Structure 1
Amino acid sequence: MNISKAEQRVLHVLAQGGRIRYERGPNGRLTHVECITFDGSFLVDCTLEVVAKLRRKRLIESRNSSPYRISAIGRRSVRAQMDNRV
């Protein structure tokens, strides 16, 4: 599966315990997303487009309206790297 660098960064953050908080508009679509790392920092690379791609590929999931987390498919798809915060 082809995963871009921005998608890869978001998946790494989620695999390390991060989450994606989101807000929905009146029509039910996502209007704003924030990717929060496990230590409380924000990832700037996380945009609506990146989240939409990850959702389409089923690499992230939200259960019971909770923040988005990495799915089992996402864990298998993420490439292992020592430090992906560059």
Structure 2
Amino acid sequence: MNISKREQRALHVLAQGGSIRHERQTGRKISAIHCVTRDGHLLADCDLELFARLRRRGLIASRGGQPYRISRRGLGAVRGQLDNQ
């Protein structure tokens, strides 16, 4: 699967235990997201466009209104990196 550097970076954070927290305004539409690392830091270059691409491809998923986490398909798509130990 062809994945951009920004998508790889976000998936790598999620694979290490991070999550994507979402906010909804009125209705079901997501209005804002925050990609949070396992240490509680925010990933600056994660925006709604990137979130939509990851969700459309099935690389992230949410269960029961919880924050979005990496899916099995996402784990298979992310490349290993040196700091992933």
What TM-score does the superposition give when structure 1 sets the normalisation length? 0.93
The separation in 1 between residues aligned to 2:70 and 2:35, in whole angstroms, is: 12
> Counterpart amino acid of 1:64?
G
* Match in the other structure for 2:32: 32
SS at match of 1:9: helix
**Structure 2, gaps ≥5 residues long:** none
The separation in 2 between residues aligned to 1:83 and 1:52, in whole angstroms, is: 26
> Counterpart amino acid of 2:18?
G
* Match in the other structure for 1:44: 44
> Counterpart amino acid of 1:70?
I
Corresponding residue pairs, total? 84
* Match in the other structure for 2:2: 2
1:11 aligns with 2:11: yes
SS at match of 2:32: strand
**Structure 1, gaps ≥5 residues long:** none
